[in-house]
């Protein structure tokens, strides 16, 4: 890409946005770049180990990547069978198409497919 960098900062560059109509990729430097941080996600194809979804507003933990530390989340369901998952703290690089898996301690409660990631109400476009 020919991206230069600050000699004081050797952190990698990441795609933080895209405009497909204009054929533009936006990049930002650093693992903890604010543009990579999501505050919620939308999920579909939800499946629950008991066959029944936890109650609306239930607080639990979730993982978005293998061996990731648990993240506190709260679920909010929609009439179309999808859910919004709000994070207790911002989470880096939530990726549409990947799985979100829900837990109560060590017990797996279920999971779903990540459809989109959001920073507050703005959809993130880094993938």
How confident is the prediction along the chain (127 residues), in pLDDT tens digits per residue? 556 656 677 888 888 777 888 888 888 888 888 888 999 999 999 999 999 999 999 999 999 988 888 999 999 999 999 999 999 999 988 889 999 999 999 999 999 999 999 998 888 766 5
Q: Give, rounded to a whole angstrom, the gap between the first and last alpha carbons of the chain.
A: 17
**CATH number belonging to domain 36-123:** 2.40.30.10
Angle at 69 between CA 78 and CA 93, to 5 degrees: 60
Length of the chain: 127
Q: Where are the domains positioned within the chain?
A: 36-123
CA–CA distance from 66 to each of 50, 72, 100, 115 (Å)?
23, 16, 10, 18
Confidence (pTM): 0.83
């Amino acid at each position: 890409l020919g991206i230069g960098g600050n000699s004081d900062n050797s952190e990698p560059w990441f795609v933080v946005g895209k405009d497909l109509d204009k054929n533009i990729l936006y990049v930002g430097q650093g693992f903890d770049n604010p543009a990579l941080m999501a505050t919620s996600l939308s999920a579909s194809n939800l499946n629950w180990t008991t066959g029944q979804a936890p109650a609306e507003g239930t607080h639990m933990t979730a993982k978005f990547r293998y061996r990731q530390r648990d993240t506190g989340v709260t679920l909010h369901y929609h009439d179309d069978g999808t859910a919004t998952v709000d994070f207790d703290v911002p989470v880096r690089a939530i990726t549409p198409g990947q799985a979100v898996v829900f837990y109560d301690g060590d017990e797996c409660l279920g999971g779903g497919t990540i459809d989109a990631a959001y920073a507050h109400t703005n959809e993130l476009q880094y993938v």
